[in-house]
Chains A and B, each alone.
Chain A
Amino acid sequence: MNDLEYQVVVGLEIHVHLATRTKMFCSCELAYGQAPNSRVCPVCLGMPGVLPIMNRQAVEFAILTAMALNCRVSPYTKWDRKSYYYPDLPKNYQISQYDLPIGQDGFIEIPIEQGRTKRIRIRRAHLEEDAGKNTHTFGDFSAIDLNRAGSPLLEIVTEPDLSSPAEVRALAQELQRIVRYLGVSEADMQKGHMRFEPNINLHVTRNGQVFKTPITEVKNLNSFRSIERSVAYEIERQLDEFIETGKTLQMGNKKTFGWDDESQCTVLQREKEEAHDYRYFPEPDLVPVEVSTEWMESIRSRLCELPLMREKRYIQQYRMSEYDAGVLTADRATAELFESAVQAGGEAKRVCNLLTQSGLKMSNDRGCTMAELGISPDKLARLAKMADNGQISATSAVLIFETMTQSTDEPEQIAAERNLIQKSDAGEIEVLVDQVIADHPQAVADWREGGKKSAKSRGFLMGQVIQKSKGQANPKMVSEILDRKK
């Protein structure tokens, strides 16, 4: 009916909670799920006469992230006050960075379909403090917990380079992976460590003319699913609205929406009648930060190979599937476990299988990373070697892997104790094969005759030999010896 062509234009604003021990400007503990107002001091309460002092770790985390996002890191940054009138930040301003952010003009590579990547430009990355938490469900009032007030937040703003809900999700996930690799954030979505605000509009082409729909911002999304769905919903909504009203982008007609998870739609929060006037001004209580070349380089030395690069390398170097490479590079410690095990002599494919099959399932069950299962690279390598040279079966390898997560025993020891060492003594196996051949003349005849029943009979004879060995005969050898007797 309406044969409109349109292009989706999305920019993303992301708030990342930094994993410091203390708040941005005071020494209160950063703690999730503690008793309300138990991690608060005169500084984060905004008492008169107090002075904020910067957390060095937060500044370094922010610089490190800016570097990983290929930003130009400012050698000189300063702080600004942004007017703020909600009780969850009692100073009536938020300390933020306005004109001299920590990082500018960077980019992030995100995975898109078929192993390809897309470069999304980063406009800026700056540090600021978080607000406290409001609860509205106790009655006809709001209850304020200031434990979170003053937590260090890194705000990252992309250019509007994203052109589909899937790309928005991919960026969110890639950023999560990066900050976890760098160790600057736990990036736990459930704990609100990452919050997303997409700015969305469409460029609609009608009769050769391009129309830009009014921009909408969706606030405070904190799950990958809701980011993707809210963007998809807004695309539909804006398209409908454009067809109906023909409204286009103008100064001041940007709207703010919230996402209703239950009804799966966006809900209008406010229409901005004028551009936000936050009345920024320089924060007189904090002195600027000068990042010397020396300091900059010491932070740069903490950069590591980023997950997407690592994933691509695994696919090339180890001929791994995209899926396996993705699982192994999901977090840095697991990738390092894999690589160390391979370095210690484990065959890559075997180590990979142990991790992506047994390891992944167990870590999911236990809610930890694979590296946290407690298997050292050296033991993992030895286990892989045992499976590779036929000392143990693939099934036994899984069993030993599981046992190793619960004990400090060596893989060889576990294999021996559990009778999992396969018999690879040709003479011994041959005796068993001969016995089975003697015991089952009919099956042997069917097997030797060829035809329909042959394969089935062979399988039966194999099974009998394995059973006679109490499951300890190396199937590969049984197969070879049996075939010699055909």
Chain B
Amino acid sequence: MAGTIDEAQVRKVAKLARLELTDEEVKRFSRDLAAILEYIQKLNELNTDGVEPLAHCLPITNVLRDDIVRPSLGAEATLANAPDRYEDYFKVPSIFDDNSGA
């Protein structure tokens, strides 16, 4: 496991996260992230042979609810924080690559 991260990796992750970074930011994040990764590296010192991967940190399973309808917020409250609306819809910049239902 490499303890460092290069600028190309930062750009790739930024792209995947739809973040636009300046060259200056790419440099800074490469440095900062490398430091964080190095710190986390400490975990690699532990011997984890024979330890089951952990799916969740709480020793609980099966938190389920019954299929019973409870009131929703209603359109007005739902849209109260919306930056923009069109009738009772959220209004957002045009989505060209419609990936809905992915």
Contacts and interface: CB of A to CB of B under 8 A. Distances in A.
A56 B98 CA distance: 31
Nearest to A56: B64
Interface stretch (A140-148, A366-374, A477-485): A140-148
Interface of B: 16-18, 55-58, 60-70, 72-75, 78-79, 86-95, 97-102
Interface string A1-31: 0000000000000010000111000011100
A130 B101 contact: yes
16 contacts: A20-B67, A21-B68, A29-B72, A36-B88, A83-B17, A86-B100, A130-B101, A134-B95, A143-B86, A143-B87, A143-B91, A144-B90, A195-B101, A286-B63, A287-B61, A289-B62
Interface string A349-365: 00000000000000000
Given A54-B63, A290-B62, A40 B95 contact: no
B94 A288 contact: no
A138 interface: yes
A85 interface: yes
For B69, B89, B93, B97, the residue with the greatest tally of chain A CB atoms inside 10 Å of its CB is B89
A193 to B, nearest CB: 12
A22 B69 contact: yes
Contacts of A335: none
A348 B78 CA distance: 56
Interface of A: 15, 20-22, 27-29, 35-42, 45, 53-59, 76, 78, 83-88, 94, 100, 130-136, 138-146, 153, 195, 220, 269-270, 277, 279, 282, 284, 286-290
A54 B65 CA distance: 6
B90 A87 contact: yes
A87 B68 CA distance: 27
Given A54-B65, A58-B67, A144 B16 contact: no
B74 to A, nearest CB: 6
Contacts of B97: 269-270
Contact of B70 (A27, A83, A277): A27
Given A56-B66, A279-B16, A289-B62, A35 B101 contact: no
Given A38-B72, A135-B89, A195-B101, A287 B62 contact: yes
Contact of B67 (A57, A83, A131, A134): A57
Given A21-B69, A270-B97, 15 more contacts: A21-B68, A22-B68, A27-B65, A27-B70, A37-B90, A39-B72, A41-B72, A41-B73, A53-B64, A84-B102, A86-B95, A144-B91, A282-B56, A287-B62, A288-B61
A30 to B, nearest CB: 9
Contacts of B55: 76, 78, 100, 282, 288
Given A38-B88, A282-B55, A142 B68 contact: no
Contacts of A28: 69-70, 72
A163 B53 CA distance: 39
A308 B98 CA distance: 36
Nearest to A145: B89
A357 B100 CA distance: 42
Contacts of A87: 90, 92, 95
B63 A53 contact: yes
Contact of A88 (B16, B56, B100): B100
Nearest 9 interchain pairs by C-beta: A143-B89, A27-B70, A57-B67, A56-B64, A144-B90, A78-B55, A290-B61, A36-B88, A37-B75
A153 B100 CA distance: 13
Contacts of B57: 284
A45 B80 CA distance: 12
A37 B78 contact: yes
Contact of B100 (A21, A35, A131): A131
